Structure 1
Amino acid sequence: MLKDHAKLMSAFAASGEIIGRKKLQKMIFISKKLAFPFQEKFQFHFYGPYSEELTLRIEELCNMGFINEVKEKKGGYYQYRYSMTEAGEDFLKHYTHEMPQLDECLTFMNDQSSRFLELVSTVLYFDNLPKEEVKEKVFTLKEKQRYTEEEIEEAYQYIENLNKMAKPLQ
């Protein structure tokens, strides 16, 4: 049971601080699509792939004192900041992880905006479809985000770069 928690903790260890619940969801989904062994199930939601399991696991980690969640008021909405606590670091020492490329991939993702990661995760969610159909889905399902053709091309290039980083896994 706690092995899945430890996998998430390793994501926090690699990322340092993650700002935003949406960003956290996208980073784990993208990692899973890159063949990292995250077990959470995702379905398509308002902001792209979303996992209720992940939300519950993060809540459990916060309740156990392994993850620190800080709620900040940002204009008209709240933003959450996540970081690992000392207790979380101690907990993680009891588990071995077979995910050497995870650190590099998560750091690369954490440098991106949640808006861009939403696009990348949406493209990956529909990766079984031809590129033109994926674009159509993005323009339809993400109409309010107003993604451009150029941004979609950037997302595909970004995915290609992530795949190179995670290559030994695949």
Structure 2
Amino acid sequence: MNLLLEHRWEHALVAAVIEAASKSNGGSYLGRTAMQKLMYFLQVLNVPMRFKFRIHHYGPFSDELADTLDWLQADDVIEDRSRETRYSNYAPGENWHEIKSRFQSDLGQYQEMIDAVAKAMGGMDPDQLELIATLDFCYRWVHARGGNGPWKELTIQKFKQIKGDKFTDSKISDSYDRLARVKLIQQ
């Protein structure tokens, strides 16, 4: 046994997402920002986890997830292959298979969803991930406040309060429509 730390479900889930993204997106970078967004969307899709997401500079962010990434690196479950300290490029580490075997049955229940999210979003650039994750977060915020819509207009208003003019109106609208087409949000 090479693991030094006690690991829980969320640790195995994070490492499984890193493995899935590594397999499906070849040479793409998988950094801190991308991991925050991939995990956020898995939570939206009801994969159980205890991470709490809030809006941060680059969209939905979980402090607990950031800490988990550090712990997984410390225990060689994941590794950072980046050559620059200001960026990360996560990949499965030497001890990944040990934690994977402990949580195999739990991971198996969600593997198809993990693979789908990693494939669909793992290769996106950070700005694209920031845009769609923040839009989704804003939609959920607006929707939770009640009412009957119009969801798109209200969501975009909230989005612009947070992001200002960082993204063009057409990019925001197109991204909203894409999220609606895949049924993550409503029109």
- Please give the TM-score of this superposition, normalised by the length of structure 1: 0.83
Asked if residue 106 in structure 1 is aligned to residue 118 in structure 2, the reply is yes
- What is residue 158 of structure 1 aligned with on the other side? 178
Q: Distance in 2 between matches of 1:34 and 1:162?
A: 12
Asked if residue 41 in structure 1 is aligned to residue 62 in structure 2, the reply is no
Q: Summarize the alignment of residues 86-101 of structure 1 with structure 2, pairs less than 5 Å apart.
A: 86-95=94-103, 96=105, 97=107, 98-99=109-110, 100-101=112-113
- Counting aligned pairs with the same residue, the percent is 22
The answer (yes or no) to whether the contact 2:152–2:176 under 8 Å persists in 1 is no
- What is residue 68 of structure 2 aligned with on the other side? 57
Query: Given the superposition, is the C-alpha separation of residues 11 and 163 from structure 1 closer, same or farther in structure 2, using an over 3 Å criterion?
Result: farther
- What is residue 167 of structure 1 aligned with on the other side? none
After TM superposition, the structure 1 stretch with the greater mean CA deviation from structure 2, 103-112 or 57-66, is: 103-112
SS at match of 1:72: coil
The answer (yes or no) to whether the contact 2:16–2:100 under 8 Å persists in 1 is yes
SS at match of 1:44: strand
The answer (yes or no) to whether the contact 2:138–2:159 under 8 Å persists in 1 is no
- Please give the TM-score of this superposition, normalised by the length of structure 2: 0.76
Give structure 1 stretches of 5+ with no counterpart: 165-170
Asked if residue 122 in structure 1 is aligned to residue 134 in structure 2, the reply is yes
- Note the C-alpha offset of 1:88: 0.7
Q: Distance in 1 between matches of 2:73 and 2:15?
A: 11
72, 78, 81: which one aligns with 2:86: 78
Aligned residues: 160
Q: Distance in 2 between matches of 1:163 and 1:13?
A: 26
Give structure 2 stretches of 5+ with no counterpart: 1-6, 23-27, 143-150
After TM superposition, the structure 1 stretch with the greater mean CA deviation from structure 2, 96-105 or 47-56, is: 96-105
Q: Distance in 2 between matches of 1:160 and 1:72?
A: 38
Asked if residue 3 in structure 1 is aligned to residue 9 in structure 2, the reply is yes
Bigger CA radius of gyration? 2
- Note the C-alpha offset of 1:144: 5.2
Computed over aligned residues only, the root mean square deviation of the Cα atoms, in angstroms, reads: 2.1
Asked if residue 132 in structure 1 is aligned to residue 153 in structure 2, the reply is yes
